[in-house]
Homo-oligomer: A and B are copies of this chain.
Amino acid sequence: MNLAGLGEDKLVAALLRGLPGAHDLLRGPGDDCAVIGRPREKTWRLLKTDCVIEGVHFRPDEDPRKVGWKALARAVSDIAAMAGRPRHALVTLAISPAAELAHAKALYAGLKKCARKYAIAIVGGETARSPGPMFISITLTGEVDSRHCLLRSGGKPGDRLFVTGHLGGSLAGRHLTFQPRVDEALWLARHFPIHAMMDLSDGLGIDLPRLAAASRCGFQINESALPLTPGCIPSQALSDGEDYELLFALAPRSATKLKLLWPRKFPKLPLTEIGALTPPGKSATPLHGYDHFA
């Protein structure tokens, strides 16, 4: 069977079977980041790797500053999804020898801009010759307060589902300029009983079922409540992907308080209740999102 027929999640599951583990691995494959540490430590370490490929994640004629921003910001969004702070980045750039130095420098200018904004140190990396498309792989470490580390798997039936920002239509430009929700995630984790969280990279239609499955829950969403990007229809909010907003499950008793306090703290960023987690096997909403191999 080829990979297109299998789909990404089954491919990953097939590849990761029988992996050697480690005594200090708190969370391995299957969440936004790997979590490393010991249960009683105050701070846990996060590890993430993420790549963008020319022709898949950006067009060859795209502004290289924006491509650099996006490459690093995607990984920052995954650190945010655990309520962590990004720390150290490594950059792997595979590029044609015929490329211009100015192009590579502009790409790094975008990377550095994102690094400065999120207080990330770029501590190393590699350049290699690519015989095909440009390929940028980012490694990002982070730290998270062990009391507030948010996994995908802690959701409970009855939890209310929220998303930040607007969904859909990212290809019109936002997929290159989005702002990872680091401060928002830290604030949420510190002040509210968030049970599960992730960032929306493949679209709510793929990512919400992943969060629900990790939490051994079903889910229901209210399609008419989806915070659509102006000009988008609901199916785009489910399927377009690359929103890089937060999706989280909140204990129902705190929903009213959160809806009251959020707009005071983050007046420019909408927060929307879109549905709830349900007992397992009860999902009623058919959903579709982006599969990397389909």
Given the known interface contacts A1-B101, A20-B120, the answer about A15 and B87 at a Cβ–Cβ threshold of 8 Å is no
**Least distance between A131 CB and chain B CB atoms (Å):** 5
A47 and B88 in contact (CB under 8 A), knowing A53-B128, A129-B293? yes
In the bound complex, CA of A139 to CA of B14 (Å): 20
Which residues does chain B contribute within 8 Å of A1, judged by CB atoms?
A: 100-101
Q: Is A25 an interface residue (CB 8 A)?
A: yes
In the bound assembly, the distance between CA atoms of A34 and B140 in angstroms comes to 13
Set of chain B residues within 8 Å of A270, measured between Cβ atoms: none
- Known contacts A49-B126, A123-B25, A125-B29: A112-B8 contact under CB 8 Å: no
Find out whether the CB atom of A292 lies under 8 angstroms from the CB atom of B3: no
A258 on interface, CB distance cutoff 8 Å: no
Determine the chain B residues whose CB is within 8 A of the CB of A281 once the complex forms. Answer: none
Q: Are B55 and A131 neighbours in the complex by a CB distance under 8 Å?
A: yes
Give the size category of A's interface with B. 35 or more
Contact of B139 with A47 in the complex, beta carbons under 8 Å: yes
> Given B88, B100, B292, which contacts A34 in the complex, CB threshold below 8 Å?
B88
> Quick check: A126 and B90 within 8 Å, CB to CB?
no
Are B99's CB and A49's CB within 8 A?
A: no
CA distance A40 to B162 in the complex (A): 44
A92 at the interface (CB under 8 A from B): yes
A contact set with B: CB distance below 8 Å: 1-4, 6, 8, 11-12, 14-16, 18-22, 25, 28-29, 33-34, 36, 47-51, 53, 55-56, 87-88, 90-101, 104-105, 108, 112, 115-116, 119-133, 135, 137, 139, 141, 292-293
**24 sampled A-B residue pairs with Cβ under 8 A:** A2-B98, A3-B95, A3-B96, A4-B97, A4-B98, A14-B105, A15-B93, A16-B122, A25-B123, A28-B123, A29-B125, A47-B123, A47-B124, A47-B141, A49-B124, A49-B126, A51-B135, A53-B94, A53-B128, A127-B293, A129-B292, A130-B135, A135-B135, A137-B137
